[in-house]
Amino acid sequence: MVPRLLIRGATAGAVVLGAEALYAILHPAPRQEEFDPSGAFGDPSNPPYRVTVLGDSSVTAPGVAGPEQIWVSLVCSRMAEDHYVTLKSFAVSGSRAEDLLRDQLEPAIATRPDMMLVSVGANDCIHGVPLRIFEARLDELVGKLMETGALVVLSGVGDIGPIPRLKPPLRNLMSRRSERFNRAHERVAERHGAHVVPHRRDDPAIWYSDPGLWSADQFHVSAAGHKRWADSTWRTLQPLLDGSG
């Protein structure tokens, strides 16, 4: 009798979480323009530095006013103080690790960049991709990127729990799940000698309490959110670029 009750309880819980996930993903939201941050930054007389980014909507940035507000643009603007930075983005909204492998990897390598930024994992996490499969795909991707000799920096997976469209208990589940996906980033980076931006060290209370960090669709971050992402990324990149990391 007890096992049967436990099964019923687990089934009911799964139904609730599934319904909440469908609501969060499918509930009508304002349509937001997306952007390609590709471009050039700085004085052409400065030493050249090529940056390539692979990723998802964290790079195409629905919810900002223009590409100059995207975190990777803000980072390249800082790099441009003493370099002429050219940025090429292959990011596509909704991408998962398998999409980066299939569609973005080869053209990204062809740009022969000095630095490759990889921002992926949130969609794998939200859409139920098994962790071991995600890690295997990320491992394959990073292994091939490292063969180019470029500096490879991974986004990690920030805390998904604060997304306003998510409600408890789904919010709590996604917070724990995204932490496991972030650890996969860390394991892959350690195996290959890549680097991970520790976005999860940013104060989670701020992401829960400040509505200004979220865009009108209550799912993607705003320009203020991208500014915080850029700050976290720069704290990782700066010592690597000046040779102290």
The residue written with tokens 């962790």 in the block is 131
Tell me, yes or no, if the pTM score tops 0.85: yes
Indicate the domain borders of the chain: 32-241
Kindly compute the dihedral angle of the four CA atoms of residues 215, 197, 209, 211, in this order, to the nearest 10 degrees: -10
Burial of 115: CB neighbours in 10 Å, binned 0-12, 13-18, 19+: buried
**Domain 32-241 belongs to what architecture?**
3-Layer(aba) Sandwich (3.40)
> Can you state the percent helix, strand and coil of the chain, rounding each to 5?
55, 15, 35
Kindly report the length of the chain.
Answer: 245
Q: Tell me how far apart the alpha carbons of residues 87 and 77 are, in angstroms, rounded to a whole number.
A: 10
pLDDT tens over the chain, length 245 residues:
444 433 343 333 333 444 455 455 545 567 899 999 999 999 999 999 999 999 999 999 999 999 999 999 999 999 999 999 999 999 999 999 999 999 999 999 999 999 999 999 999 999 999 999 999 999 999 999 999 999 999 999 999 999 999 988 999 999 999 999 999 999 999 999 999 999 999 888 999 999 999 999 999 999 999 999 999 999 999 999 987 55
Q: How many Å apart are CA 206 and CA 110, to the nearest integer?
A: 39
Separation of alpha carbons 206 and 214, rounded Å: 11
Q: Report the 10 Å Cβ neighbour count for 68.
A: 14
Residue 184 contacts residue 32 (beta carbons within 8 Å)? no
Cis peptide before 211 (omega within 30 of 0): no
Burial class from Cβ neighbours inside 10 Å (0-12, 13-18, 19+) for residue 21 reads middle
